[in-house]
Structure 1
Amino acid sequence: MQTLNYEFPATQVARRAVHIGVVASGDLEILLAPPESGEPPDRATVRVRTSVNGFDTIWHDVLERFFARATLAGRWELNDFGATPGVVNLRLRQAAESATTNGADS
């Protein structure tokens, strides 16, 4: 198990906490919470827990591309069990959409 930590600049704050996906073979769970009082509202902090070691560069590249487009501040927790970059991007987009709308959690 490997844990990776990243920070990205953000211009929009998550409206609410969301839970997307599951930790299962080839899938990814994302927990996103708005910044707490006292935390900077202009940063996305991302912690990735992955069962697959050695993909630091790929994780960084996928997250950097995502946060270049979706600058959403909050505490992002990604729990991975072998998700492909396409699945990661899909789950990130789902979490961002859910956190910025008034709909129910997916």
Structure 2
Amino acid sequence: MEKLEFSFSGGTALAARNRPILSGVLGSGNLEVLIEPADLAGQCAVEIETAAVGFGRIWQAVLTDVFERWKIGDIRISINDAGATPAVVALRLDQALKAYSGREMKP
């Protein structure tokens, strides 16, 4: 198992009514995403536990792409990964962020 941590800035905090959201299932080739509100001065903190060791640069690229679309802050994201492909990671994050924010991603 590998633990990765990332931080993103430039996001906007959402209304305090947001509750934690869990998206996906932990299974072979999949992952689960937990999004929680957090007082992080506009930052977004991402913590990943993954069975696929050595893919930090790929995680960084996928997360950077996701947060270019989603300008959201003051959230903590926890990801438990069981070997999901980058496309599945992006899909699960988009699903979770849509459910958390109540809006569509920016084009």
Q: TM-score range by the shorter chain?
A: 0.7 to 0.9
CA contact (8 A) 1:13 1:42 kept: no
Match of 1:43 in 2: 43
Gapped regions of structure 2 (runs ≥ 5):
none
Percent identity between matched residues is: 38
Partners of 1:20 and 1:28 lie apart in 2 by 8
Partners of 1:99 and 1:34 lie apart in 2 by 9
Partners of 2:14 and 2:57 lie apart in 1 by 26
How many positions carry a matched residue from both structures? 99
Partners of 2:92 and 2:41 lie apart in 1 by 22
* Structure 1 residues 34-73: Cα deviation after superposition (integer angstroms, max 9, x where no partner): 11xxx22411100011001010000000001111110222
Partners of 1:44 and 1:62 lie apart in 2 by 15
CA contact (8 A) 1:31 1:76 kept: yes
CA RMSD across the alignment: 1.5
Match of 1:31 in 2: 34
TM-score normalized with structure 1 length = 0.87
Query: Does 2:98 align with 1:97?
Result: yes
Match of 1:11 in 2: 12
Match of 2:72 in 1: 72
TM-score normalized with structure 2 length = 0.86
Partner of 1:47, secondary structure, is strand
